[in-house]
């Protein structure tokens, strides 16, 4: 008899198992995929750690969390500085003075602010002319936040590819704000700490799960462990919230992504880990060159080949991996119904983005588990 049966070996499940083991609790982790680690799993190709389920960059302002993960595996100094490609023209992200110079040739914050405010005013005036005081959809919201040029070049079509819907059909609340920096700074995150585990995320997962009993290729719902009380005192569930209750109120919607991964016979394909393709001209949303997460300077050229992944956003269908909760009114109301059921489950803890139907970065997941045990 285990203290905890943990369904899922992603960051929530693995961190929970680690913390429980530190308290002399017996844990058994089951994972339906053929590998541990959930979406942070890395696959080795051409000597490169390939982020199999998309780019994962660890970032946090919480020193306790940063020290926690670094005590398991040291993290490198990778800084996330993505680039946007719009019809072959490159722009730095996030929106900063480099972006504004590339867009308009402005060289001072004052010039950039003036340009943006002029375009925002045009958007507001157009709405007022139509008798509207508040943005009715994401397109109007975006135009009011950043103006026409940035919205149409860097946001509109990229967002439409991500959501599979026109911006004019998406609710305005999806983007409450769009951060703009009036300094020449391409560091995407404002967090004090960021990096990638040296040797890849598998090192972090292996460290968290060291000494813990684990079983892969095991689907909770189609295994003997569905009757979990025979095996453990408590259940930690990190799978989809609606699936646990056999879709009693109907299915929650998800967005998901899939990848086409290629080995390229060159040491340096695009010169950056992540390039976003912000127009409909390319069907994928971004291209990831995995080498640049862990290799810097001359090391890039010590490996004659590179590995790239094209990332495609699509509507979730059964059999796919669910990635992102769809936070519209219908799904939020449905998720609340399931959450009420979850609160009544005795001996079951629901945790992580799938079980909570909520978007999480990596650090807050770990922080949540640490706080739970506190």
Task: Please provide the DSSP assignment of 177-239 as one string.
Answer: -----SSS---S---SEEE-BTT-HHHHHHHHTTT-EEE-S--GGGSGGGSGGGTEEEEEE-S
> What are the residue ranges spanned by the domains of the chain?
2-76+191-252+325-373, 94-174
Tokens of 184: 């020449």
Give me the percent of the chain exceeding a pLDDT of 70: 100
Catalytic residue among 2, 149, 255, 372: 255
**Residue-averaged pLDDT of the chain:** 96
The yes-or-no verdict on residue 174 having pLDDT over 90 is no
- On the 0-12 / 13-18 / 19+ scale of CB atoms within 10 A, 197 is buried
pLDDT reported for residue 57: 98
The end-to-end CA distance of the chain, in Å, is 24
Catalytic residue among 181, 237, 242, 253: 181
Residues in the chain: 374
Concerning whether 255 is annotated as a catalytic residue, the answer is: yes
Which one-letter DSSP state was computed for residue 47? Answer: T
**Nearest by Cα to 35 from 250, 244, 200:** 200
∠ Cα 47 53 55 (to 5°): 75
pLDDT reported for residue 212: 98
Concerning whether 311 is annotated as a catalytic residue, the answer is: yes
Question: What is the C-alpha separation between 231 and 26, in angstroms, rounded?
Answer: 11
∠ Cα 365 369 374 (to 5°): 145
Catalytic residue among 77, 130, 134, 177: 177
Concerning whether 361 is annotated as a catalytic residue, the answer is: yes
Concerning whether 286 is annotated as a catalytic residue, the answer is: yes
Please give the full DSSP string across 242-301, using - where no structure is assigned.
HHHTTTTT-PPPEEEEEEEEEEESSS-SSSSSEEEE-STTSSSSEEEEGGGGT--GGGGG
- The continuous run of DSSP H or E covering 50 comes out as strand 48-51
In the predicted model, what is the mean pLDDT of residues 122-145? Answer: 95
The yes-or-no verdict on residue 171 having pLDDT over 90 is no
Beta bridge partners of 275: 83, 287
pLDDT digits (tens, 9 = 90+) for 260-318: 999 999 999 999 999 999 999 999 999 999 999 999 999 999 999 999 999 999 999 88
Catalytic residue among 311, 316, 353, 367: 311
Question: What is the C-alpha separation between 155 and 91, in angstroms, rounded?
Answer: 12
The yes-or-no verdict on residue 226 having pLDDT over 90 is yes
Confidence of residue 173 (pLDDT cuts 50, 70, 90): confident
The CATH number fitting domain 2-76+191-252+325-373, selected from 3.30.70.20, 3.40.50.720, 3.40.50.620, 3.20.20.140: 3.40.50.720
Does the CA dihedral 97-59-71-75 come out positive or negative?
A: negative
- On the 0-12 / 13-18 / 19+ scale of CB atoms within 10 A, 369 is buried
Catalytic residue among 286, 353, 356, 357: 286
């Amino acid at each position: 008899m285990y203290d905890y049966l943990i369904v899922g070996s992603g960051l929530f499940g693995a961190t929970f198992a680690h913390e429980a083991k530190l308290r002399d609790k017996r844990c058994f982790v089951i994972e339906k995929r053929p590998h541990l680690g959930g979406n942070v799993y890395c696959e080795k190709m051409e000597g490169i750690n390939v982020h199999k389920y998309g780019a994962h960059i660890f970032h946090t302002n919480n020193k306790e969390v940063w020290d926690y993960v670094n005590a398991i595996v040291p993290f490198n100094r990778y800084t996330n500085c993505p680039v946007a490609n719009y019809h072959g023209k490159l722009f730095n992200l996030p929106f900063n003075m480099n972006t504004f110079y590339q867009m308009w040739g402005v060289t001072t914050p004052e010039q950039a602010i003036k340009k943006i405010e002029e375009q925002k005013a045009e958007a507001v005036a157009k709405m007022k002319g139509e008798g509207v005081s508040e943005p009715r959809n994401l397109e109007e919201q975006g135009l009011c936040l950043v103006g026409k040029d940035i919205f149409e070049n860097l946001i509109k079509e990229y967002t439409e590819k991500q959501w599979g819907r026109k911006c004019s059909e998406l609710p305005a609340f999806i983007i409450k704000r769009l951060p703009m920096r009036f300094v020449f700074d391409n560091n995407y995150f404002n967090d004090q700490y960021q990096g990638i585990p040296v040797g890849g995320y598998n090192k972090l997962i292996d460290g968290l799960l060291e000494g813990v009993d684990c079983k892969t290729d095991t689907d909770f719902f189609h295994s003997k462990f569905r009757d979990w009380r025979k095996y453990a005192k408590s259940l930690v569930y990190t799978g989809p919230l609606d699936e646990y209750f056999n879709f009693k109120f109907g299915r929650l919607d998800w967005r998901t992504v899939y990848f086409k991964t290629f080995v390229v016979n060159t040491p340096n394909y695009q010169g950056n880990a992540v390039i976003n393709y912000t127009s409909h001209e390319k069907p994928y949303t971004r291209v990831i060159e995995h080498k640049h997460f862990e290799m810097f300077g001359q090391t890039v050229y010590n490996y004659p080949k590179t590995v790239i992944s094209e990332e495609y956003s699509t509507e979730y269908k059964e059999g796919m991996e669910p990635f992102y909760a769809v936070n519209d009114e219908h799904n939020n109301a449905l998720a609340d119904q399931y959450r009420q059921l979850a609160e009544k489950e005795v001996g079951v803890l629901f945790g992580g983005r799938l079980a909570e139907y909520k978007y999480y970065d990596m650090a807050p997941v770990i922080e949540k588990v640490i706080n739970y045990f506190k």
